[in-house]
Chain A
Amino acid sequence: MKTEHRRLGLLGLILSSALALGACASLSAPTLSGDAAKLQSLAELDGQAPTRRTLEIQTWTTPQGAKVLFAPAHELPMFDLRLTFAAGSSQDNGVPGLATLTNAMLNEGVPGKDVGTIAAGFEGLGAEFGNGAYRDMAVASLRSLSAREQRDPALALFAEVLGKPTFPEDSLARIKNQLLAGFEFQKQNPGKLASLKLFERLYGQHPYAHPSDGTAQSIPAISRQQLQAFHARAYAAGNTVIALVGDLSRSEAEAIANQVSAALPQGPALPRIAQPQAPKPGASHIEFPSNQTHLLIAQLGIDRRDPDYAALYLGNQILGGSSFGTRLMTEVREKRGLTYGVYSGFSAMQARGPFMINLQTRAELSQGTLALVKQLLADYLREGPTQQELDNAKRQLAGSFPLSTASNADIVGQLASMGFYDLPLSYLDDFMRDVQALSIEQVKTAMAKHLDPEALVVVSAGPTVAQKELPPPTDRPAELPSTVPH
């Protein structure tokens, strides 16, 4: 079923930073010989890393101070424009939900146009307006046909929405009510409750601690004046990154960037937020009448500029970063059938984001499963990856490289992320080069430096029930059973 609070879906979730995949680099020594003996197609591959779509990324700064990243893509008659502001909930400044509410109210009114007129304006052009606010960033985006007949009026309306929102009182009351309804929906979602608790535990007094959507206590009191002040400060041109991809010439792209940044409030970038303090380790439990228990196992991780980023990215891929075949997925799902999915990841943010492992399992096995996952993490930190795991993960990243920039939607996401986190234009290639150069020792050292199995913060949500022992692990059968007769 489509969710019934569709618009709220646009509002915040945790930002999982767009982890870009990088560049060429030749493949590490093939270990596919056994597989190649079985597979004709594999034996015929030339062993070269694949190429990717050619991008001519260009960058400049508008007179108003907005940073622009542009990549032309002439194959389809459309364009994607994405504005990213350092205007997430970490800028709420003691008013939880202010950033989210400001972002959600952008398209509710401009001088001379009410919310219905604005919506009809975009939709009548076939254009798609999007918005969202997270912990670090707030986003506003436009996807439209690139013919002038659609492009010009769509951009004019987009510029009004970003630059002159009127934040009408009736809309504000309605959207507050929708947020409050969203909080009620959250109460039926043990995974969401566990996640909110985890951020509170990890971040204490830091601005990442509170929910991006605010709380039932904070939202009702937020005033129109507070939204106006937040907009003037946080949606300023100097606090904005403009990413643009599509069927546009450089001069058209410059004109669009200038039009948009001139429409924004004028002002500088906001100061970066401070780093969080280390949290107190230990477990918290949320009692919830579900069938499964949700488990979150976490620590503070890294910020986006950390020099260990590539080593941790690769190290995490092997632990639990890429769905199937990771240590966690193999041991917890494939060998024991304990969960539908178990994942780990570093969310690298402006300040240190979380490292988190998450999974769900039937309640009566939750304690055993938690102990198993903690043990798997401790073993990995102590031993590091094997040479085979390292080689496979490198080959996987090199092989998936062309997928990271295949569509315009992929590219605009990469540009926005590179711009927001101040990464160089060569970032995609640099990252892949760095990953391919890593040794076992470097990965092991980086993982052990940033993660401590004795300092974990654990949050569980589920029912309290008598616990059972885990089933024993089963490995793959030594010989294949007989073929199904046809």
Chain B
Amino acid sequence: MIVSARRTLGLIMGVLCLPLAALAAAPQPTHEFTLDNGLKVIVREDHRAPVVVSQLWYKVGSSYETPGSTGLSHALEHMMFKGSRKFGPGEASRILRELGAEENAFTSDDYTAYYQVLASDRLGVALELEADRLASLQLPADEFAKEIEVIKEERRLRTDDRPSSLAFERFKAMAYPASGYGIPTIGWMADLDRMHIDELRAWYRKWYAPNNATLVVVGDVGVDEVKTQVQRYFGDIPRREVPTAKLPLELGAAGERRTTLYLKTQLPSLLMGFNVPGLATAETPRQVYALRLAAALLDGGYSARLSTRLERGEELVSGASAWYNAFTRGDSLFVLTATPNVQKGRTLEQAEAGLWRELEELKKTPPSAAELARVRAQVIAGLVFERDSITSQATSIGQLETVGLSWQLIDQELAELEAVTPADIQQAARTFFVRDRLSVAHVLPEESRNEESRP
């Protein structure tokens, strides 16, 4: 019941898993099958501990929504805990809790997902409960009347009273002029105020079908037992027609967009974003991997360029970041943020100029061999570290599948990244880090509203 995953793919290793000769650990067996009703199932065996995670991913999220009806996917996620044919509101959660399970859900622009982590002998309970609410959600009006108030509290807590979140919401609305990616996942308050239970019922009927979902199971299980249980609980749910979801496509060159936000903040901050493709929309995958390397060169650790040059060298910023999520259903955004070092009297304009210097440097000069070697070492180690968590493994698989990519991309990651040449990075920087693709937000304290805008 969280709006989550703003998909900060901070470092490059968000999603990879492993081409295995590079590593001493044997790969976990991973199996894939599809039920007759279209439910796709991926099972990865990890026998280190007697636990399992089950995640059901639906291909629907806030980027599927339309103006006036924002927040539907997230509100429906909340209502999925309010009863289905076999259970009253909250009852399934109580049963899971009494079994010692962790459970929750998360919604993003491209997906809505539900998960349980529990002792592996109890997997059947998680599957039966999940299948029941896929087949027969009740959506009672009186429960919705209370839950929408909870959702508004969530919005006040996590967006309206949190200046950095509020700024990012406004920034995204500007940076994605043509697609549903400009819609905040939790929904605009005005839309929450007028949301009706019938809209949720329609949204549920439209998207919650077995053929629009992917089940990912990772843990101490065998594929045969999982197959039997999945067939037993999900097998009778009928396939239903689901609308064709169009990829969220953006304007390649919408023109430079700028906004100034006065918020309840003490310190100024800066957001910059370039409209770029994701892996699903790029002309060539090479461009995408070059952009991921660009993000890693800028912000892949404390030894990367933004920390080394802007934070410690020039002391221009007290913090800065760069990130890019390639694993989107449609186009993406390459985002940079900075907080100017006000103790040293640095301004937003100077911080923006500093970020531009780093972007220009990417266009002009190829990265050093040492920098690329560091990125590679981090990717290789990250592949192993990710395997310490069954949840991370399941999330990587589920996210890729849900945005229309194959989980097997994981196995190609390292090779794809290694194939990128320094010239590819320069070329991608020249193509995408241009003013026509740029959105900029200057975030300033409310008190400065009436002051000279350029300090």
Give chain A's interface residues, CB within 8 Å of chain B: 1-8, 32, 35, 38-42, 44-46, 50-53, 73, 75-78, 107, 115-116, 119-120, 123-128, 143-145, 147, 150, 171, 174, 177-178, 180-181, 184-185, 187-190, 289-292, 322, 324-325, 330, 333-340, 360-362, 392, 395-403, 405-409, 474, 476-477, 480-481, 483-486
Contacts and interface: CB of A to CB of B under 8 A. Distances in A.
A116 B125 CA distance: 51
Nearest to B335: A1
A123 B136 CA distance: 50
25 contacts: A4-B319, A4-B321, A7-B302, A7-B319, A35-B95, A38-B86, A38-B87, A41-B124, A41-B125, A42-B128, A50-B121, A75-B48, A76-B25, A76-B388, A124-B373, A145-B381, A145-B384, A184-B266, A290-B156, A325-B90, A325-B93, A325-B94, A392-B97, A484-B137, A486-B205
B98 A392 contact: yes
B98 A52 contact: no
Q: Which of A107, A324, A339 has the most CB of B within 10 A?
A: A324
Interface of B: 6, 8, 10, 23-25, 48-51, 83, 85-91, 93-95, 97-102, 117-122, 124-125, 127-129, 136-143, 145-150, 152-154, 156-158, 160-165, 167-168, 201, 204-205, 229, 232-233, 238, 240, 264-267, 269, 271, 300-304, 307-308, 311-312, 315, 318-321, 323, 335, 337-339, 341-344, 370, 373-374, 377-382, 384-385, 387-390
Q: Which 8 A-B pairs have the closest CB atoms?
A: A399-B100, A126-B381, A337-B149, A400-B100, A41-B124, A50-B119, A119-B303, A53-B49
Contact of A405 (B49, B117, B156, B343): B49
Nearest to B309: A116
Given A143-B385, A476-B89, A480-B140, 13 more contacts: A7-B302, A39-B129, A50-B100, A78-B384, A107-B302, A171-B312, A180-B343, A188-B163, A360-B156, A395-B99, A474-B146, A477-B140, A483-B136
A325 to B, nearest CB: 5
Nearest to A324: B93
B318 A403 contact: no
A356 B400 CA distance: 40
A399 B99 contact: yes
Contacts of A8: 319
Nearest to A361: B153
A50 B122 contact: yes
Given A77-B384, A477-B142, A45 B93 contact: no
B156 A291 contact: yes
Contact of A480 (B88, B129, B150, B315): B88
Contact of B100 (A395, A405, A406): A395
A174 B136 CA distance: 58
A402 B118 CA distance: 8
A96 B5 CA distance: 35
Nearest to A409: B388
Contacts of A1: 6, 8, 164-165, 167-168, 271, 335, 337
Contacts of A126: 377-382
Contact of A32 (B88, B95, B163): B95
A120 B125 CA distance: 47
Contact of B321 (A2, A124, A290, A292): A2
Given A406-B48, A407-B49, A401 B204 contact: no
Q: Which of A2, A45, A171, A407 has the most CB of B within 10 A?
A: A2
B201 A484 contact: yes
A408 B48 CA distance: 10
Given A77-B25, A292-B161, A399-B122, A5 B339 contact: yes
A125 B158 CA distance: 37
A32 B125 CA distance: 12
A334 B153 contact: no
B266 A187 contact: yes
Contacts of A360: 153, 156-157
A452 to B, nearest CB: 29
